[in-house]
Amino acid sequence: MLGFGRNERSRETVNKDLNLIWEDIMFNYTLKAMAITATLLSTASVAYADGHAVTMRGASMFDEDHAFTKTLREFERLVAENYDGEVEFDLRLNGELGVESDYVTYLNQGVAVDYTILAPSNMAVFSNSIPLMDMPFLFRDLDHWNAVLASDAFGPLEEELREAAGIVIVGYTGGGVRNLVSAEPITSMEELADHRMRVMGAPIQALTFDALGAAPAAIAYNEVYNAIQTGVIGGFENEAASIQNLKFYEVAPHISLTQHTITVRPIVFSAKIFDALDADLQAAIFAAGAEAGAFGRALESGADGEILKEMEAAGQIVIHEFEGREQMLELVGPVQDAYADELGATVMLQKIRDM
């Protein structure tokens, strides 16, 4: 302990001085943090009118090995190849600019992130209808999924998203098959009953798994690992690449092959940024989005099964067949119909089913 004599300052005075020093340190730290944030926001897109190269910033939550990042790299290459002017890209990886829900806000505001790949559910905050494209059990198989994404079936959703969120869809990737991922085996409808699981934020996700008897909860993606580890939830649902990339197998090693979703992941652009580009660059972005989307779909759909095998061979996961998938299909049909009717999307849903 410190001793305080007659000629020494009081403990109260010392503490006051220490507090002033600490406040000064925190003030300077805050100024630096604000400066860094301002730099990120202000340099998201630069040099549209001064004759220099257009620079655009992208974001990926994953590393260079993930299919999303590889797809964005292909997108960048194709834009540069299809555009006569100078264009540069600044793609930030490993969640440096936050998570997907942050990207949606940035895209809407035209700051920090110009282009990325998003799950439709993360855009539901602006568009109630957009998660329909990622609705569980929407696609019969990979051929049906590819046919829908190569068509104009989602045109009405694209228009709504641009109007409501200021986000332009320039292509479609995805292809991961989503299964149940859990701390304990879930192999039947009986074991699925009351299973506490994380679902994506769109209402249709919770409605679907509620109809199947589970206990769904919308938890932020970056909180899932800890939520399973601490027993808040028993599992979630996801595709193989993300399970491997983010090491979810460490807390949830059981994979149940429900194959309830073939993912649709739009390649998106901020409308505020896109609309400021010249017509030739806009055309190059749309052409690159379509081609990079097809590249990404082939990449991810082909790799999905291989990644599961790799993790199983490494002893990281245990794969289980799921009994009762036909019962699942029966239970979710009315949920899909009611959801589409509520959104005024019955004709679009039927068009997809008929393809």
For the chain, give every domain's residue range.
Answer: 43-354
Question: What is the per-residue pLDDT for 98?
Answer: 95
Kindly tell me if the per-residue pLDDT of 49 is higher than 80.
no
What is the pLDDT confidence band of residue 50, given thresholds at 50, 70 and 90?
A: low
Half-sphere exposure of 145 (CA within 13 A, CB side): 27
Strands 196-199 and 215-218: parallel
CATH of 43-354, one of 1.10.3720.10, 3.40.190.170, 3.90.1640.30, 1.20.140.10: 3.40.190.170
What is the distance between the alpha carbons of residues 136 and 141, in angstroms, rounded to a whole number? Answer: 12
DSSP state of 45: E
Share of the chain above pLDDT 90, in %: 75
The answer to whether the CB of 96 falls within 8 A of the CB of 102 is: no
Mean of the per-residue pLDDT values of the chain: 87
Element (H, E) at 290: helix 279-313
Question: What is the per-residue pLDDT for 15?
Answer: 42
What is the pLDDT confidence band of residue 42, given thresholds at 50, 70 and 90?
A: very low
Question: What is the per-residue pLDDT for 201?
Answer: 82
Question: What is the per-residue pLDDT for 51?
Answer: 55
Question: What is the per-residue pLDDT for 53?
Answer: 81
What is the distance between the alpha carbons of residues 229 and 250, in angstroms, rounded to a whole number? Answer: 9
Kindly tell me if the per-residue pLDDT of 69 is higher than 90.
yes
Kindly tell me if the per-residue pLDDT of 18 is higher than 90.
no
More confident residue, 3 or 142: 142
pLDDT, tens digit, 9 for 90 and up, residues 246-289: 999 999 999 999 999 999 999 999 999 999 999 999 999 999 99
Strands 318-321 and 54-59: unpaired
The answer to whether the CB of 83 falls within 8 A of the CB of 101 is: no
Average pLDDT over residues 316-328: 95
Kindly tell me if the per-residue pLDDT of 8 is higher than 90.
no
pLDDT, tens digit, 9 for 90 and up, residues 77-136: 999 999 999 999 999 999 999 999 999 999 999 999 999 999 998 998 899 889 899 899
Question: What is the per-residue pLDDT for 134?
Answer: 86
Question: What is the per-residue pLDDT for 202?
Answer: 81
Question: What is the per-residue pLDDT for 178?
Answer: 94
Question: What is the per-residue pLDDT for 16?
Answer: 45
Kindly tell me if the per-residue pLDDT of 164 is higher than 90.
yes
What is the distance between the alpha carbons of residues 20 and 78, in angstroms, rounded to a whole number? Answer: 55
Share of the chain above pLDDT 70, in %: 85
- CB atoms inside a 10 Å sphere around CB 306: 10
